[in-house]
């Protein structure tokens, strides 16, 4: 028995070592960790449990029968992150380049099924070369099984994709189906067709980074929610994200220690937000004053920067904050901002995360590019997501809220539970100057002094329809609050709404704009 046990220990050590020291050195030379090093960083120390580590492929031909390494290029198992169970799989690039064959896929299917059955998050550490060509259609079918499970688990358990190597062709669709995608600059890429194919078809020469690197997907395509300079900081934020999320859609997010300073008025909020509706400011600074310890995890920080989507805590409870950013395009809604907001709202709603919406929006971005690009269809995505959300929803209008964009930013009319406004709010169909140009165009043109007449009529319009209490008088705002008390007001509103229960009309599914 001792001899057999010693043999088993040697075998397990050999499995962790991969094909040999040269393969590990080559992985490190690329600036990448091995899959086991990544698992150690992802999970609490000493908690990772691997299963099917001795699995081998059954394929024959093309030299595969002589190369049957253990794990078949993918490591699966579970561990704990901040004490909570999380499942994971990770490609081992040292074995067949992490490519997916039949046995490889079956291992992934198994761990995905286990995660769904256990009601626990699933993290994928992606570092593979795509389908294993030598195994033909069996490899392709393996991807189909992964995609089907991604969709089945969508909105049931959090699914997080961490890109730590190449991802090409059909393999890119699994990360695209998950809730959050992390990338690391210089080592991870995602593209449907590689640089060689692009050059052959279009004549365009591009590098892998230019075609599908972390910066492109984080800032341009929106395919990546987060981008980092190194694996360690990337995996640390994966751990932080999981600490903010529930294990599944039947649980509430884990709570932290409640805040103790909620009753203290925050004078800085008066300084941060100018009264002039045309003067820009950084909404991130406002959010930092409203959430616990100023700690936030911003989703899609560099994509569609005119809308901020942030996970944080208020009074110890996880919240999702959606906010216009006046520093970029004056905080307007456009195609990309609508897509970004809709996706974030749906994720928060799926995982029981209350929504706080901070409004300072001049409208939708005008222009032929926006209209021909489908701003109506894409703007409807965000509207649909809010209307469909059943989690607690609180709106705060800081300054301007004009037109259809006011409605879309979780107004009372589309179902927010509580709406508050600062005394600097301006809620109207459009700005006063634009309204006067429409309503009083002829009167202004006929006046002896058109500019003076325009100014007088503009002030009259503001006093009649845009004063700070107009919406509150009509029940469209629940209260006009002292900005300094916003944090305490939000905490109390979320406390009261914590037990909210709302049932949608029974249906197979809605038909959201695509």
Q: Which positions are catalytic?
A: 169-170, 404-405
Rg of the chain (C-alpha set): 26
Distances (CA, A) of 453 to 432, 457, 505: 13, 6, 52
CA distance 440 to 420: 32
CA distance 478 to 98: 56
Distances (CA, A) of 456 to 93, 275, 348: 71, 20, 46
Element (H, E) at 152: helix 137-153
Residue (of 447, 446, 397) closest to 420 by Cα position: 397
CA distance 311 to 182: 15
Per-residue DSSP letters for 362-391? --BPPSHHHHHHTHHHHHHHHHHHHHH--S
CA distance 314 to 292: 5
Eight-class DSSP state of 65: G
Residue (of 143, 147, 144, 185) closest to 163 by Cα position: 185
CA distance 134 to 63: 9
CA distance 372 to 394: 33
Residue at token pair 């992934």 = 108
Residue at token pair 């990338």 = 183
Element (H, E) at 227: strand 226-228
Please give the structure tokens belonging to residue 393.
């929803």
Do residues 237 and 226 lie in contact, with contact meaning Cβ atoms separated by under 8 Å?
yes
Eight-class DSSP state of 70: G
Strand residues in 237-383 grouped as ranges (E): 296-299, 307-314, 317-324, 355-361
CA distance 252 to 157: 12
Do residues 414 and 470 lie in contact, with contact meaning Cβ atoms separated by under 8 Å?
no
497: buried, middle or exposed (CB in 10 Å: 19+, 13-18, 0-12)?
Answer: middle
Buried/exposed 208-218: b ≥16 CB within 10 Å, e otherwise: ebebbbbebbb
CA distance 61 to 504: 54
């Amino acid at each position: 028995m001792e001899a057999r046990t010693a043999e088993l220990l040697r075998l397990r050590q050999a499995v962790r070592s991969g094909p040999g020291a040269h393969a590990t050195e080559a992985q490190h030379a690329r600036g990448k960790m091995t899959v086991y090093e990544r698992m150690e960083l992802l999970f609490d120390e000493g908690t990772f449990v691997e299963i099917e580590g001795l699995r081998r492929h059954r394929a024959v031909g093309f030299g595969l029968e002589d190369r049957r390494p253990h794990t078949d290029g993918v490591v699966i198992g579970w561990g704990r992150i901040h004490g909570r169970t999380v499942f994971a799989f990770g490609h081992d690039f040292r074995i067949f380049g992490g490519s997916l064959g039949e046995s490889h896929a079956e291992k992934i299917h198994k761990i995905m099924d286990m995660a769904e059955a256990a009601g626990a998050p699933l993290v994928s550490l992606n570092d593979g070369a795509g389908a294993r060509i030598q195994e033909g259609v069996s490899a392709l079918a393996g991807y189909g099984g992964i995609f089907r499970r991604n969709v089945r688990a969508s909105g049931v358990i959090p699914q997080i994709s961490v890109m730590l190597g190449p991802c090409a062709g059909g393999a890119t669709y699994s990360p695209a189906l998950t809730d959050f995608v992390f990338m690391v600059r210089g080592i991870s890429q995602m593209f449907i067709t590689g640089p060689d194919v692009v050059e052959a078809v279009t004549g365009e020469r591009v590098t892998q980074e230019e075609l599908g690197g972390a910066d492109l997907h984080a800032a341009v395509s929106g395919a990546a929610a987060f981008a980092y300079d190194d694996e360690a900081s990337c995996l640390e934020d994966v751990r932080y994200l999981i600490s903010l999320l529930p294990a599944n859609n039947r649980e509430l997010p884990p709570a932290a220690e409640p805040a103790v300073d909620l009753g203290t008025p925050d004078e800085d909020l008066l300084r941060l937000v100018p009264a002039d509706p045309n003067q820009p400011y950084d909404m991130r600074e406002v959010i930092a004053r409203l959430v616990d310890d100023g700690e936030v995890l911003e989703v899609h920080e560099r994509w569609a920067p005119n809308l901020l989507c942030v996970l944080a805590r208020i009074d110890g409870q996880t919240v999702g904050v959606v906010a216009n950013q006046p520093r970029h395009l004056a905080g307007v809604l456009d195609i990309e901002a609508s897509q970004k907001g809709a996706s974030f709202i749906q994720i928060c709603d799926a995982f029981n995360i209350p929504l706080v919406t901070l409004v300072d929006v001049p409208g939708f971005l005008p222009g032929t590019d926006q209209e021909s690009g489908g701003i109506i269809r894409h703007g409807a995505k965000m509207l649909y997501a809010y209307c469909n959300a059943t989690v607690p929803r609180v709106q705060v209008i800081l300054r301007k809220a004009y037109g259809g964009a006011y409605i879309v930013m979780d107004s009372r009319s589309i179902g927010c539970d509580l709406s508050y406004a600062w005394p600097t709010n301006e809620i109207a169909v459009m700005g006063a100057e634009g309204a006067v140009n429409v309503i009083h165009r002829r009167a202004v043109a006929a006046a002896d002094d058109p500019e003076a007449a325009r100014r007088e009529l503009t002030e009259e319009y503001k006093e009649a329809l845009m004063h700070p209490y107009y919406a509150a008088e009509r029940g469209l705002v629940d209260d006009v609050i002292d900005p300094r008390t916003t944090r305490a007001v939000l905490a109390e509103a979320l406390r009261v709404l914590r037990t909210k229960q709302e049932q949608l009309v029974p249906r197979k599914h809605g038909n959201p704009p695509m």
